[in-house]
Chain A
Amino acid sequence: MTDLVLPLFILGVVVYGLIRRVGVYDAFLEGATQGLRSAVNVLPCLVGMLSFIALLVRSGALGAFAGWCAPALRLLGIPEGALPVLMVRPFSGSAALAMLEETFRRYGPDSVEGRAASVMMGSSETIFYTLPLYFAAAKVRRSRYAIPAALIAWLVGGVAAAWALRL
């Protein structure tokens, strides 16, 4: 399905451009230049966040934190085996993928834990990467209530993930 979306989208864009008499290649180059520029612009922020988050993961602090939160999250109906994915998700997409792989290996992809972890992985974003990145683009230094609100959305999403599978 997704393998179809991409080629068709590209085909659609090119044909649309020709019909609307856009200089398709020139327009593409113009946009690509902007895209490269934004990739370079976000690099300092990526280095800053990913290197420090590695400290949090490698030191074991994140794992310990997940352990502390476990009892409360269990009360909310989130299976314990899916916890590592949920806890790591806001901090690091690749670490969460590694946790998901680990969950599959331990419980199997079709177990309650595996399915819940899958939904949690797909229904949230890496908050502590997206927010700094986007705010850097707007030169914002004070994020006000964006982080607490995003964390509330993440927690509600985690609980909803555990419940949505029971429908």
Chain B
Amino acid sequence: MMNWIWAGIAIVGITWGLITGQQAALSQGVLQGAIDAVGLCVKLAGGFALWSGLLAILEKGGAMESLAKAAEPLLRRLFPGTGLKARQSIAMNMTANLLGLGNAATPQGLEAMRRMGAESSVNESNGAATDAMCVFLVINASSIQLFPTTVIAMRAAAGSASPASIVTATLVSSGISTLAGIAACVILRNVFWRRRA
């Protein structure tokens, strides 16, 4: 699937750009995108290291186990077939997302995916995502956030009379979109992507 999407993006973008005569913007843009990616990675690396380090202290102290234990009944229903280790990472990722600590959420999310991958037989099933992985990704992609910090900062910079006035609406709409995503997972799974067991 990713192979097709990636190739499709290139084909559509390049064809469209050539038809509209944007070849200069294309050659400039593609290289700039690659440079931006490295810059972004360097920017992410500092935050990743800091947050992973801090969370490692919590993990060593046993806080993550208690957190995961508290969220266990919910997580077990949402992510069937995952192990305790994976669910601990999931719990940390979701907590960090809620607090708006995106830099802390991503390394934990990656760790959760790695653990889910190690637990399931991804390689035997020809690299197919498990149901738990799909639900986890959809929840991450529709991000429930208590504090949309970047947007509030941008509104303040643009001279808004009440920069934080969008917080409630953001919470409501991201909550609705997360629920819709979970529902979509359940429906799509049962209708189109039945697993040949």
Interface residues of A (CB under 8 A from B): 1-2, 5-6, 9-10, 13-14, 16-17, 19-20, 22-24, 27-36, 38-43, 46-61, 64, 94, 97, 100-101, 104-105, 108-110, 114-115, 118-125, 127-128, 130-135, 137-150, 152-154, 156-157, 160-161, 163-165, 167
Interface residues of B (CB under 8 A from A): 1-3, 5-6, 9-10, 12-14, 16-17, 20, 22, 25-26, 28-34, 36-38, 40-41, 44-45, 48-63, 99-101, 106-107, 109-111, 113-114, 116-117, 122-123, 126-129, 133-134, 136-138, 140-143, 145, 147-151, 154-155, 158-163, 165-166, 168-170, 172-174, 176-178, 180-181, 184-185, 188-189, 192-193
B49 in contact with A150 (CB, 8 Å):
no
Select A167's contact among B99, B101, B172, beta carbons within 8 Å: B172
A16 in contact with B63 (CB, 8 Å):
yes
CA distance A102 to B188 in the complex (A): 36
Residues on A with beta carbons closer than 8 Å to the beta carbon of B134: 143-146, 149
Residues on B with beta carbons closer than 8 Å to the beta carbon of A145: 134, 184-185, 188-189, 192-193
What is the CB-to-nearest-CB distance from A162 to chain B, in angstroms, rounded to a whole number? 8
Q: A16-B63, A109-B160 are in contact. Are A123 and B177 (CB under 8 A)?
A: yes
Q: Which of A23, A53, A118, A135 has the most CB of B within 10 A?
A: A118
